[in-house]
Structure 1
Amino acid sequence: MPALATVTSCSTTACSYNTDGCTAFAITVGGASGAASCGTFVALDARGGLPTADSHVGACQRLECRHNNDLMCTAEAITVGGDNAACELYEAS
């Protein structure tokens, strides 16, 4: 099995999985209309996830991204940012 892309940073402070980094076990990159965003984003009045920030990209639904191979992210690492939880490495092929 190939290595999963690491989420090295997340600056989306409204996400309940962001506690000094992404604490979800794995995220899904989704989005629409040529934009890639974190589909795991959830805004709640609670924090959750792993005790430390050690997240990976479990799946990528952006077929047109040059880092997508068989719905898996082939990048070594990604960053997530902005209010819309954008995948900042997304690049249409």
Structure 2
Amino acid sequence: MTTEVATVSDCTVNSCSFNHDGCTAYAITVGGSQDHASCATFIDTSATGGLPVVLAHVGACQRIECVFNDHLMCGKADVKIGSGADAADCLSYQRQ
């Protein structure tokens, strides 16, 4: 079981209220559907959300089939979020 929390090292989703010079959500959830992982914390609104400094981590991962998923936690050191099939995909996702 992982004892470290994965950081969000990069987010290129400009339309997310938590992304201003990096992800400022305290923690994100990686969700999505089969064969696809997306940032479930993504919110496209004009409101600015999050903390004043960049501290984002992956709080939970719902993609059980991902090679990095360890007891619903991300076992990768860092993840990248960006445009893919959806506006905010987990670009670090790898299917087993």
Shorter-chain TM-score range: over 0.9
Amino acid at match of 2:72: L
Report the TM-score when normalising by structure 2.
Answer: 0.93
Which residue of the partner structure matches residue 7 of structure 2?
Answer: 6
- The offset of 1:48, in angstroms, is 1.0
Aligned-residue CA RMSD in angstroms?
1.1
Which residue of the partner structure matches residue 32 of structure 1?
Answer: 33
Distance of 1:35 and 1:84 partners within structure 2:
12
Which 5+ residue runs of structure 1 have no aligned equivalent? none
Which 5+ residue runs of structure 2 have no aligned equivalent? none
Once the two structures are superposed, what CA deviation does each residue of 1:29-55 show, in whole Å capped at 9, x if it has no partner?
Answer: 000131100000011111110101110
- The offset of 1:84, in angstroms, is 1.8
Regions of 4+ moved over 2 Å? none
Report the TM-score when normalising by structure 1.
Answer: 0.95
Distance of 1:39 and 1:2 partners within structure 2:
22
